[in-house]
Structure 1
Amino acid sequence: MANKFKRSSTCLLVSLTLLLSGCANTGSSLLSGTKPDPRLTSGEQSTFFSSSAAQGCGMGALAGAGIGALAGSLAGDSKKALVGAAAGGAAGCAAGLATNYYLDSLKKDYATTADRLQAMDKDISKDTTDLAKTSAAMKEVIRDNHATLAKISLQKDNAGFDKASANKELAQVDANISVMKDKIKVMKDKSSGYQVALQQQKTTTATDKSKLKTLNTEYTQLNNQITALESEANGLYSQRQAISLG
């Protein structure tokens, strides 16, 4: 019985490893159904704001799940192992997101404040450029989806309304909203990382102080753009929630 339980616990941990690694690398690849608009996922959009948050959460969840399952295994209770894995995974995920990963990486990779500020300048500039491209694609999709939802809302009570076709269109909108929410979450996580890192920089020279002031301005502009984009996405979501075909 003991050997059987040990094998079960091992299988549990291996399964968790594979599952969470898959989630970390592919985001929503485990979900099936209608594919989102390719404007949100093809080309450059496949890499812009799509995986970093899932990876951070996945690694934290994996560590937490392993610890939780191990605690149950040591107690000789398979149920405790399963419950421990679930609870540990949730806690690990929260811990992974709460960790100041960006700030820690700056401290690890750059010895001086000047070097860290230079690195942040490059990172913020890149994300600002990527955000502009992502925003353009998302706004196109949002505009088209608004029109689709308005059309369905006007026609759904008419005689001869094609409900099956409308449901397919709604599924497409839902898939688009899901992708946009995921991307915006990654954007906000990155923004939070920048905020923490900027707040922790201790400047002593006039040059560093001036650079930090400039970076704070650039960060504020980036964050405002993210907030505006989120507001547009939320508007589409609210419009979608108001439509029900029964």
Structure 2
Amino acid sequence: MIMLKALRTAMVAGLIVALAGCQSTGGTGSSNGSVDPRLANNQDVEFFNKSGWQACAGGAALGALACAVSNSSNKALCIAAAAIAGCGVGVGANAYLDNQRKKYASQEQQLNAAIKDIQTENQKIQNATNVAKSVIASDKQTLDKLNKDIAAKTAKKEDVQKQVKSVDANIAYLRNTIADMKKHEKQWQDVSSGIGKSGAETKKLDGEIAEMHAKINSLQQDLDSLYTQRTALKVS
């Protein structure tokens, strides 16, 4: 039993270290273009972006360190709770479920906690989507104006390249953001499957997952539309 607890502690701690360790390679902006501050400085957008995992993993790592040096009788549970508090289901469905089973005695409590957590994430996605769609709308206006200026031969090459690079940086950033949103959606599906195996009714949880899918899909469609408009612009 002691060895099993130690193994679980090591696994969760290792996950936190891995999350924190990939931050140096997780940047999404191009060195030649700046990501719109509305994206880069928004906490809800960052929560679902690779570059945003730095704060998540960093906070979880600090929590895990506090657990390791504390007098907690169950350091593995303490570390898992610290990771989930910082990263949510992003730590992985299995780790999330394992922690929920230890925290809550009944299946109903576990399910209700999961529903509350995904509702929080859905609100984050809604907020992030509102910001992202605002940026996409601005970028579409930028591309439309550039297209007209190029056709009228009034565009300056340096200005065109600078503005296009900023649009490209936003597209790359949002692609990563959406990719991580989709990972969260998949992890929630795994959570629902795991809870369902115990015989619990997951209809409400599945409804929240469907809502998450719809929000992500809507943002994906808007981004695809922007990308189509961007690729149609001929920049010499």
**Per the shorter chain, which TM-score range?**
0.5 to 0.7
Whether 2:97 is the aligned partner of 1:106: answer yes
User: Following TM superposition, by how much is the alpha carbon of 1:166 offset from its aligned partner in structure 2, in angstroms?
Assistant: 1.0
Flag the 1:213–1:46 CA change in 2: closer, same or farther, 3 A: closer
Distance 2:29 2:142 in 1: 27
User: Following TM superposition, by how much is the alpha carbon of 1:31 offset from its aligned partner in structure 2, in angstroms?
Assistant: 5.2
Flag the 1:160–1:222 CA change in 2: closer, same or farther, 3 A: closer
Seq. identity, %: 27
**Aligned residue pair count:** 182
In structure 2, the gaps of 5 or more residues are 1-16, 55-89
In structure 1, the gaps of 5 or more residues are 1-17, 56-98
SS at match of 1:122: helix
Distance 1:241 1:102 in 2: 37
**Partner of 1:23 in structure 2?**
22
**Partner of 1:124 in structure 2?**
118
SS at match of 2:47: coil
The letter of the residue matching 1:129 is Q
Distance 1:118 1:37 in 2: 37
**8 Å contact kept, 1:100–1:193:** no
Higher gyration radius (CA): 1
User: Following TM superposition, by how much is the alpha carbon of 1:155 offset from its aligned partner in structure 2, in angstroms?
Assistant: 1.9
User: Following TM superposition, by how much is the alpha carbon of 1:19 offset from its aligned partner in structure 2, in angstroms?
Assistant: 11
**Partner of 2:143 in structure 1?**
149
Distance 1:49 1:117 in 2: 23
Q: Deviations over 1:107-134 (max 9, x none)?
A: 2442443333123112211111101110
Distance 2:221 2:28 in 1: 26
Whether 2:109 is the aligned partner of 1:115: answer yes
Q: Deviations over 1:12-45 (max 9, x none)?
A: xxxxxx9995533672178523221000011424
Distance 1:217 1:104 in 2: 22
User: Following TM superposition, by how much is the alpha carbon of 1:54 offset from its aligned partner in structure 2, in angstroms?
Assistant: 6.7
Cα RMSD after superposing both structures: 3.0
Distance 1:30 1:240 in 2: 17
Give the structure, 1 or 2, with the largest relative contact order (CA under 8 Å, sep 6 or more). Answer: 2
**8 Å contact kept, 1:138–1:180:** yes
Distance 1:154 1:166 in 2: 12
The letter of the residue matching 2:112 is Q
User: Following TM superposition, by how much is the alpha carbon of 1:200 offset from its aligned partner in structure 2, in angstroms?
Assistant: 2.5
